[in-house]
Structure 1
Amino acid sequence: MRKNENCENGKYAYICTNKINIRKLNSDLKNKGNLCRFVFFFFFFFFKLKSRTIILYYINKTIMFSKKNYN
């Protein structure tokens, strides 16, 4: 994410010392919010998918192990 030139602290757009255009700030915050939401959902689904595959993998391993023991 690009830093806001009007702010001394580039990390947070709302910690500003200079006078800035409120409309610009709102649009920047909205865009950052959407991006953060997208990234959050992406990582959430990614880890959910990853954990599910790992769980299925271990279930398959345990089933194979139990079958071997029975035979």
Structure 2
Amino acid sequence: MSAICKRVHLHKTCLNIHILPLFLNILKFSNYIYYLHRFTLTRKLHGLQGILTIILFFPESISA
């Protein structure tokens, strides 16, 4: 192998070993963040719904 070929080959392996998994990890992480955000958002909405339900249906228990 010539020096240039070696360098290109090394660069490709470096890319495959380091850059690709990093990219995949970033994708996984952003997906995780997205789902976590969606989950917490729905939980917050459910929490608000619960609070509103309590206020609407049991107003005397709150004022007491």
TM-score by length of 1: 0.65
- The number of residues matched between the two structures is 53
CA deviations 1:18-51 (Å, max 9, x no partner) are x783112222123322111100001000010111
Worse overlay, 51-60 or 26-35: 26-35
1:10-21 equivalence runs, <5 A: 21=6
The structure whose RCO (Cα within 8 Å, separation 6+) is larger is: 1
Q: Match of 1:31, as an amino acid?
A: I
Letter in 2 for 1:53: F
Please report the RMSD computed on the Cα atoms of aligned residues, expressed in angstroms: 1.7
1:64 aligns with 2:50: yes
Match of 2:26 in 1: 40
Distance 2:20 2:53 in 1: 49
Q: Runs ≥4 in structure 1, deviation > 4 angstroms?
A: none
Q: Which runs of 5+ in 1 are unaligned?
A: 1-18
Higher-helix-fraction structure: 2
- Equivalent pairs: percent with the same residue? 8
Is there any run of 5+ residues in structure 2 with no aligned partner, and where? 58-64
The structure number with the bigger radius of gyration is 2
